[in-house]
Structures are given as structure tokens and as C-alpha cells.
A and B are shown apart, each in its own frame.
Chain A
Amino acid sequence: MNSEITHIVLIVVTDLAKQEVVQALLAADYHVTEIGSTGSLFTTGFASLLIGVTADQVEEVLHIVRQNCHTAFDPGEKRAIAYVLRANTFAMMQPQEEAAPS
């Protein structure tokens, strides 16, 4: 499974929508990495999410994000942006068995 992941979807979404988007993605069995939020006094937080996906999953992920970033007060206002990037290598390191001390 790991070796098939070739793309990263990087999503920047407003704080208000983040919860819904993350829940929806988790519910669809995606592993989401959340990179904090820029929110502080008087700034709208933008949270960044990273998801590693296979080529066919890209469309689904985008669909989920589109469905769930409802919170917008303005039809023209951007609620989220997504970059689909190709990754050269993707690996999830497993902890190795402790070798006998040499």
C-alpha cells in the first residue's frame, strides 16, 4: 500500500472549515497530517493539511474537501485551496527490531 502513494494533496483551509474537512477525510480512511494554524489575535486561522494518496484517490480527496468546506460568508470567497503534488518517494518508516548491541 505504501509504495503506491505517489501524490501529496496539500490543503490550506480556514479554521472554521477545518474540523469538518478533517472529520470527513478521516471517516473516509485517509491519514491526514495537520500542520497547525496561523490563527492568532485578529488573524483568520488557516490550517494546512497534508494527505498522501495514490493517483486515483486524488479526485476523491478533492471531492471530500469540496463537499465539506461549507463555511463561507461570501459566494466568491475562497474557502480552501489545494495543491496536488507528485512525490518522488513516499515511505512510512517502521520501527526496526532492536539488533543485538554490537
Chain B
Amino acid sequence: METFAETIIVSEEILIVLLLVASVVALMASRLRMPYTVGLVLIGLGLTFVPSLHFEVSPEIILFVLVPPLIFEAAFHIRLDDLRRDWQTILLLAVLGVLINTFIVAGIISWGTGMSLTVALVFGSLIAATDPVAVVALFRKLGAPRRLQVLLEGESLFNDGTAIVVFGLMVTIALTGDFSLAGSVTDFIRVAGGGIIIGGMLGLVVSQIIGSFNDPMVETTLTTVLAFGTYVAAEQLHVSGVLAVVTAGLVNGNIGPHGMSATTRIVVFNFWEYAAFVANSLVFLFIGLTIEIGLLIENWYYILWAILAVLVGRAISVYTITSFNRDLPWSWRHVLYWGGLRGAISLALALSLPAALGPATRQLQAMAFGVVLFTLLVQGFSMERVSKWLKLVKRSPLQEEYERRHARYVAVRSSYEHLLHMARQGLISEHTWQRLSPLLEKQKNNLIEAVSEIINQDPEVKSEELDTARREALRVQRNTLLSLLRDGVISEEIYTELVGEIDTALTSPLFTWSNLLTGARINAPIDRMMMVIIQERDLPQVMRRLMETGVSLAQLPSTGGFLQQRNATVLIGYPAEMEASLLQALQETTRHRVEMSSSATRLAVPGAASRIRVGGAVLFIFDVESYHEF
């Protein structure tokens, strides 16, 4: 009979082994250039072959310990601003989509396999939650449009919440056999609404507390308390813990950071990234430990039907819901469909099924695993090819050429340096070196020119490179400061102060550094200032374009607030002769034409039509008596 202490130790040992496995998987996955979750699910599959590790993980652990960090981290790093654009589609997909999926999947499975409808509904709801982590990571790597990433991430976050609430309802119905439509709907609203309210309140409170002082360790701890505490509190009050965590995460992730110093932000975001990594890994590994391969083989028929049902269900829900959004290109809809991978949340829900459901529990878990396996392996792996086929990613030939030239240059340079080293060591004679080095130098210089030619042609490449270089430089500075602290050269206070400056710089926008460097190109004195008001959406490309010209740039605070369209005001200092080309640049980069109905403009211009076409820029030009930089 194990004592409590022994249980803890055994659990700890298991945990350590699992984390070790997770690390190995992560390393291999990056070596083999495959998404991490795919590697995890494969190892999970491998674990099913190991019969002696039959492992019971209580549903409570899954729900109370592993799910909150996953959900919180996802909610925490979503920008509400990003959601603004397609929020209707996202919400529809998350709520209506989950319902559609649940019923269609349940219907197909029940019809095809004869499984009871109530049990099938339980499965339908748990499998409705998507987990496109692998796809989003791929998109980031390929440089796919940000809006699409936001759609996938937003949908996934909110449908996790909805799916879990529906799942709870379905399990209750399956266990108690009670069903009333009115009752279920009111239950849903009560549970969901209550969860959101609690999460929102707690999120606000913690954000306020966090904003009132500066201590990264404590602030991170507070977010941890928020994530888990919200879940527990909501569940105690019999409302949705998950939706509470989602709301708390959204609130804290969007409002909280204003009250955090840059250093704290970095600490908090890194912590949650790690927490989510651990939770994700553990879920995948647990399911591998819980299920035996025999179970999977036994239920192959159900698994196949499940896969079919899931594919059909998602097709119906995605294509019908996105048909309401005329703005969405067809290729994106396909990507949304095929990118609806299932993952940790579905597995976690499956693992949390109460044993009271009987043999169906194991069956549903096997089906869940089978579906997740399929979506990750088939959809996950093929996603890269699908996105390229749909021409989702515009990799300019310029960027490829840049890579080519840059690689050649680096290769030649390292061979030059290696030969130099050999010459110094006396491994090759001075004579040989004298003959080789001018050849190599010439090649190097040609390539340097070739690379700068490309960089000057494509502003994107240039600004990205500058940004990367800048960040690396700052990181090195940070490390140096750390060693100075360690060696006792500077005091803790000075260290914190200087590190704070560096962290602010690390998280500051691109244009400070680039602007500085390109500013050197203007020789004529700055005697005009342009104040330009543009749509916030045009800001990135306008800034990029203007930076190229080397003018002095400064951005003024924008109007608009939460969920409103914003303007950005930019001050441009330039010599008069550049005016024409500046105006041209602005003309070309502020193409954004948007139809918007804004209460703000109605207030400003009483009687204005509620649909206005807005775009381009408004500008004022001043003569500048003198211009100074410090």
C-alpha cells in the first residue's frame, strides 16, 4: 500500500521521464524539420506499444492542471486588435461551428457504426475543438498572411471554450439520460456566461494589481494564480472554468501588459510559452500511456468512421460559415478547412471522460487518438504542400535571389578565413596564400556588392535584416551586462536599470534603428515637415517605404480606442527637394480603401452617411525653421 509520499515520488519520476522524452522529441522534430506536435503524437503512438506502463491519470488532473495553462497561454498572446477584423467569422466558427460539428459528427458516427447517439454526441463535442498549433507554426515559418493566422488561432481559442462547455453538457446528458432542449440551452448560457464574467472580473483585478508595481517574479506568479485560480473558482461556482480562463487570459494579455515593464513582459511571455509546452507535451504523452495499441486496432472501424465524420463535419461548418464572409479568398477557406487539426484539448477531454460511461470511455479515447493522429500526420504534414499549391505564400523571387547570393558570400568568406587561418598556422606556405588571397578577396567583394544590390531592391529584406541584426546586438549587450553583474563590476540596481533599457529596445518597433541608419543618407538640411494622418492599417508599409528614403520619422499617438478604427499620425522631416518623391511614396502606400461606419465620424460630421469610403492620407506641410536631433 503506497503512502502519499511514495505516490509523489513515483509521480515525480514519471514526470521527469516524460519531460525527458518530450525534450528528445522536440530536438528530433526540429532536426527532421517536422512540427513538434507531430513528433509528440508519434511518440505517443509508440508508447501505446508499451503494455506494462498502463497508467491511470485522473480526469481531474487533466482538467485542473493541464488544460488551464494551454488555454491561458493561447488567450494571453492573442491581440484583440488582430481579432477585430474578422471577429464575426471567428465567433461563428467557434460557436456555431462547434455545434454543427458536434451534431454532424455524432450523426455520421451513430449512423455508420450503430453507436448510441448520446455517446456519439459526447465524442462529437470533444473532437470539435481544434488545435492548429502545428499549422500556425508552419505559417509563421512560411510567412503566410497574418490575417489567416489570426483566423486559425482565434477560432481555435474560442472553439476550445465552446467545445468544453458543450462536452460538459453532453457528458451529463449521457450519464443521467436527462435531456431537455430548453434546459440545455439555458444551462449553456448560464455556464458560458458565468464563466466569461468571472474570468473577465478576475482578469481585470489581477491586471490592476500587476500594474501597480514592478517585480517580474511576482507578476508572473500572479498570472499563474490567475490562470489556475480562475479555473478552480469558476468550477466551484458551477460555471465554465475554461471560458473563465479564456476571458481572464484575453483580458490579462491585452490590458495587463500595459502595466508591466518591458522586462516583466518578456519574463511573463516566456514563462507561459514554456508552461504551454510542458502541458501540451504531457497531454500527448499521457494519452499514449493510457491507450494500448491493441485498443486502437480493435476499434479501427470506429476510428475510420470518426475520421470520415470529422472531415465531413468540418467541411460543412467551415464552408457554410465562411460563405458569409465575402471578403475571404477561396484559397483561405480551403486552408481553414484543412488546417483544422485536432490536438491536445480533444485528447485532454477524452482523457477526462468519467469511467462511469463504461466501455465507451476507452472506445472514445481510442477514436479521439485515432482522429488526432490522422489530422496531425495527414493534414499536418501535407499542409506545407497545400499552402504552396494554393499559392498562399508569396515568396518573391527577390527573396530567393537574396538567399542565394548571401549564402554564396558567406561560403566564400568562410573559405577565405579558413585559408587565412591555415596560412597563419603555417599549414600552407606564404607563397600559396599570396596567390590565393587576392582571388578570394575579389570574389568576396563581388558578392558583397551583389548582396547589397538585392537588399536595396527589396525593402522587406533590408528591414528584416536590420531588425534581426539589431536584436542580436541588443541580446549580446544583455548578456554582457549579466556577466558584469556576476563579476561584481556593476551593482544590481544599475544592472536592472540598464537591462530595462535594453528590453525596451528589444520590444520597440523596427523603425528606430533603421531610421537611424538610413537617416545618414540625407545630406540636405531638413526644412520642411509633413504631418500625415493615415489609416493605421497602412502604417507598416508606409513606414517601411519612408524609411528607405532616409527622412526623419516620428509617430504621434493615434486616435480611436478599443475596437475602433484608428488613425496614425506621422511627422516627416525632409529637405524640400524630396517633397515630390515623398508625396509619390505616400500615394503608393496608402491604398487602403475601407468602407466603414464609424460613430466617431458621425459625431464629427453630423449628418454624414454611415457608410464612408476612407483611405489615402491627409497631410499638412509646414516650413521648418530648424531641425535638431539629440
Chain A positions within 8 Å of B, measured between CB atoms, are 7, 10, 12, 16, 35-38, 40-44, 46, 48, 58, 62, 65-66, 69, 71, 73-74, 76-86
Sampled A-B contacts (21; CB under 8 Å): A7-B625, A10-B571, A16-B501, A41-B257, A42-B509, A44-B512, A46-B554, A48-B554, A62-B628, A71-B501, A73-B502, A74-B505, A78-B519, A80-B629, A81-B552, A81-B629, A82-B630, A83-B571, A83-B627, A84-B625, A85-B622
Asked if B504 is at the interface of the complex by the 8 Å CB criterion, the answer is yes
Measured between alpha carbons, how far is A65 from B630 in the docked complex, in Å?
A: 8
A71 surroundings in chain B (CB, below 8 A) = 501
Contact in complex: A38, B507 (CB < 8 Å) = no
Q: Smallest CB-CB separation from B254: which chain A residue?
A: A41
A69 → chain B closest CB, angstroms: 5
* Chain A residues positioned under 8 Å from B498 (CB to CB): 73
Q: How far is the CA of A82 from the CA of B552 in the complex (A)?
A: 10
B contacts with A, residue count (CB < 8 A): 37
Contact of A81 with B573 at beta-carbon distance under 8 Å, contacts A44-B505, A44-B508, A44-B509 already known: yes
Residue-wise interface mask of B (599-629) relative to A, using a CB-CB cutoff of 8 A (1 in contact, 0 not): 0000000000000000000000011111111
Q: B624 near A85 (CB under 8 angstroms)?
A: yes
Do residues B630 and A78 form an inter-chain contact, with CB atoms below 8 A? Answer: yes
Give Cα distance in the complex from A81 to B630, angstroms.
6
Give the residue name and chain of the B residue nearest to A87 (CB): B622
Tell me how far the C-beta of A62 lies from the nearest C-beta in chain B, rounded to whole angstroms.
Answer: 6
* B317 CB–A CB distance under 8 Å: no
Contact across chains for B556 and A44 when beta carbons are under 8 A apart: no
In contact, B557 and A73 (Cβ under 8 angstroms)? no
A residues less than 8 Å from B630 (CB atoms): 65-66, 69, 78-82
Give the shortest distance, in Å, between B480 (CB) and chain A (any CB): 12
Interface residue B529 (Cβ < 8 Å from any Cβ of A): yes
Tell me if B555 is interfacial: C-beta within 8 Å of chain A.
Answer: yes
A36 to chain B: which residues have CB within 8 Å?
A: 556-557
Chain A residues positioned under 8 Å from B501 (CB to CB): 16, 71, 73
Please give me the residue from chain A that is nearest to B531 by CB atom.
Answer: A10
Measured CB to CB, the closest approach of chain A to B341, in angstroms, equals 28
CA distance A81 to B512 in the complex (A): 12
Are the C-beta atoms of B257 and A82 separated by less than 8 Å?
Answer: no
When the two chains form their complex, are residues A38 and B557 in contact, meaning their CB atoms are under 8 A apart? yes
Task: Give chain B residues whose Cβ lies under 8 Å from the Cβ of A83.
Answer: 529, 571, 573, 622, 624, 627
Q: How far is the CB of B148 from chain A (nearest CB, A)?
A: 21
Q: B residues bordering A, Cβ < 8 Å?
A: 79, 254, 257-258, 265, 477, 498, 501-502, 504-505, 507-509, 512-513, 515-516, 519, 529, 552, 554-558, 571, 573, 622-630
Chain B contacts of A76 at CB under 8 A?
Answer: 516
Q: How far is the CB of A44 from chain B (nearest CB, A)?
A: 3
Query: Quick check: A73 and B477 within 8 Å, CB to CB?
Result: yes
Complex alpha-carbon distance, A82 and B512, angstroms? 16
CA distance A80 to B558 in the complex (A): 19
Contact call A43/B508, Cβ cutoff below 8 A? yes
CB pair A46 B555 closer than 8 Å: yes
Contact of A78 among B79, B257, B512, B557 (CB under 8 A): B512
| A84, B324: Cα distance in complex, Å | 52
The contact of A81 among B507, B554, B623, B625, by CB within 8 Å, is B554
Closest A residue to B507 using CB positions? A42
A38 contacts B558, C-beta separation under 8 Å: yes
Given contacts A77-B516, A81-B628, A81-B630, contact A86 B623 (CB under 8 A): yes
What residues of chain A lie closer than 8 Å to B265, measured between beta carbons?
41-42
Given A10-B571, A36-B557, A82-B630, 8 more contacts at CB 8 Å?
A: A37-B557, A38-B556, A44-B508, A73-B502, A78-B516, A82-B628, A82-B629, A84-B624
A2 to B558, CA, bound (A): 30
Which residue of B has the minimal Cβ distance to A62? B628
Q: Are B504 and A35 in contact, CB atoms less than 8 angstroms apart?
A: no
Complex Cα distance, B52 from A23, in Å, reads 72
Cα-based distance from A76 to B473 in the complex (angstroms): 14
Name the residue on B nearest A73 (C-beta). Answer: B501
Contacting pair A43 B509 (CB below 8 A): yes
Residue of A with least CB distance to B500:
A16
Contacts of A46 in B (CB 8 A): 554-556
Name which of B258, B477, B515, B630 has the most chain A CB atoms within 10 A of its CB: B630
Q: What residue in chain B is nearest A85 (Cβ atoms)?
A: B622
- For A81, give the chain B residue with the smallest CB separation: B629
Complex CA–CA separation, A73 to B470 (angstroms): 12
Give min CB distance, A10 to chain B, whole Å.
7
Q: Check A85–B573 contact: CB distance below 8 A.
A: no
Please list the 3 inter-chain residue pairs (A to B) with the smallest Cβ-Cβ separation, ordered nearest first. Answer: A44-B508, A36-B557, A12-B554
How far apart sit A82 and B556, CA to CA, in the bound complex (Å)? 13
Check B555–A38 contact: CB distance below 8 A.
yes
Is A41 within 8 A of B258, CB to CB? Answer: yes
Q: In the complex, what residues of A have CB within 8 A of residue B257's CB?
A: 41-42
Q: Which has the most chain A C-beta neighbours within 10 Å: B254, B513, B516, B628?
A: B628
Q: Contact between B628 and A85 (Cβ–Cβ < 8 Å)?
A: no
**Residues of A close to B512: CB separation below 8 A:** 44, 77-78
Q: Which of B516, B552, B556, B622 contacts A48 (CB 8 A)?
A: B556
Q: Which residues of A contact B509 (CB under 8 A)?
A: 42-44
**Given A71-B501, A85-B622, A85-B624, residue A48 in contact with residue B629 (CB < 8 A):** no
Given contacts A41-B257, A77-B516, A78-B516, contact A84 B627 (CB under 8 A): yes
In the complex, what distance in Å separates the CA atom of A48 from the CA atom of B529? 15
User: In the complex, what distance in Å separates the CA atom of A83 from the CA atom of B626?
Assistant: 6
**CA gap between A43 and B529 in the complex, in Å:** 24
Q: Which B residues touch A79, using CB under 8 A?
A: 630
Given A41-B258, A85-B622: A35 in contact with B556 (beta carbons within 8 A): yes
Q: How far is the CB of A27 from chain B (nearest CB, A)?
A: 18
